[in-house]
Amino acid sequence: MLRAIIVWLILVLPASAQQSSPPVLIVDSDRLFIETLYGQRLTAELAEQAAALQAENDRIVESLTLEERSLTIRRPEMTPEAFRAEAEAFDRKVQDVRRVRDAKNVELQVATAEARARFEQRVQGIVANLMLERGAILVLEQRNVVLSVRAANITDDAIVRIDAELGNGEE
């Protein structure tokens, strides 16, 4: 009988000790961004901007290719000085275009980072409310967790709550 009580205490005490301490929760912020209506809208807008930039880049490359081909075709009829002057002007133009294209790519990267930061800022309060409702003291990012119980992950609940409270995020 004493042995049964000791076994029972060993099994029950750790469980009750865990229940008395506030839990730690886990959230997958990548899933929040990918699976919420708000994150999906942002992703679609950013993809549209990237596609427009790529289409513009393709048109510029096509134009420069035609210009280069024209210069190559006309070369035999040109004096070396005239060809060199046009080739140097073309090279300067290509370098200018490359600088502008690089700047636009950086602008898109910055816009993407800013959109993600705004998203995270807006959903942080919702995740914080879930944490408080569950009596937790901490929410960890999923990618930083090695092992956990499934019940600690609040990502699905957060997605539902974000969709309900923010919709697609348009103000």
Q: DSSP code of 138? A: E
* Residue 3 pLDDT level (bands cut at 50, 70, 90): low
pLDDT tens by residue, 72-81: 999 999 999 9
Is the whole model's pTM more than 0.85, yes or no?
A: no
Cα-Cα-Cα-Cα torsion 103, 105, 109, 115, nearest 10 degrees, comes to 90
Task: List 140's β-bridge partners, or say none.
Answer: 26
Asked if residue 20 lies in contact with residue 150, where contact means CB atoms within 8 angstroms, the answer is no
Instruction: Give the span between the Cα atoms of 27 and 21, in whole angstroms.
Output: 19
The model's pLDDT over 99-124, given as tens digits with 9 standing for 90+, comes to 999 999 999 999 999 999 999 999 99
Q: Does residue 18 carry a pLDDT above 90?
A: no
Which two structure tokens, joined as six digits, stand for 108?
A: 């898109």
Q: Extract the tokens encoding 14.
A: 């750790």
CA 113/CA 65 separation, integer angstroms: 33
Instruction: Judge whether residue 95 has pLDDT over 50.
Output: yes
The percentage of the chain sitting over the pLDDT mark of 70, rounded to a whole number, equals 87
**pLDDT tens digits, residue range 23-55?**
999 999 999 999 999 999 999 999 999 999 999
